[in-house]
Amino acid sequence: MSSAGIFISIMAALAVGAMSPGPSFVVVSRIAISRSRLDGLAAALGMGVGGVVFAVLALAGLTALLSQFEWLYILLKVAGGAYLVYIAVNIWRSAGQPLEVSDAVNGNRAPRLSFMTALLTQLSNPKTIIVYASIFAALLPRTVPLSLIVALPIGVFVVEAGWYSIVAFAFSARHPRRLYLAAKSWIDRTAGAVMAGLGLRLILAGVSDR
């Protein structure tokens, strides 16, 4: 298979994974619907940067290190799960608070905060790097051309940031926002419960691996 064919195959596999519902989707959609479209796009960029970090680490062979030192992988799982639970608690606690949303940007802090929240959420799940490494191992040739080494992180950023930009645009539209404001407490509590469940599942997976 040509380098172009390999690249397209890997991007297609990663796109399917990115579109699967998970903590990243919950975070980006909630940021977009409760803050602003710019915040949602900042969160999408955070997801893209997080994907690039995982891609680079997978190419660098971090998965071999994690398989050699199982305790490190378990520690990353538990720490990542704890971070997701922390986000869930914050979402749940703010569920009953009134919220005013608009397309105006209130200073420069909010987009930066949205970016960092999304980036840390993306990096909180060490299973993602295993997914990346598995796809790379299955589809990359034994000797990886320099062109692919350069192209893969760029492609990962486009896939991750592109998909979550679509999510940000969709959930920052007027109709989703009206629905959110009408049922904010229930939506936030549901989002918090989902996030907490994902975090606890990650923690339990780490503990059971001991």
Please spell the DSSP secondary structure of 51-110, one letter per residue: HHHHHHHHHHTHHHHHHH-HHHHHHHHHHHHHHHHHHHHHHHHTTTS-----SS--TTHH
pTM: 0.72
- Which residue bears the tokens 């891609």? 55
Q: What are phi and psi of 110, to 5 degrees?
A: -60, -50
**Closest by Cα among 190, 204, 180 to 80:** 204
Residue with tokens 């034994």: 142
Q: What is the pLDDT of residue 105?
A: 44
Q: What is the pLDDT of residues 146-186, one digit of tens each?
A: 888 889 999 999 999 999 999 999 888 888 777 766 777 88
Tell me 192's DSSP state: H
- pLDDT < 70 regions, the chain: 1, 21, 62-69, 72-73, 96-109, 142, 180-181, 206, 209-210
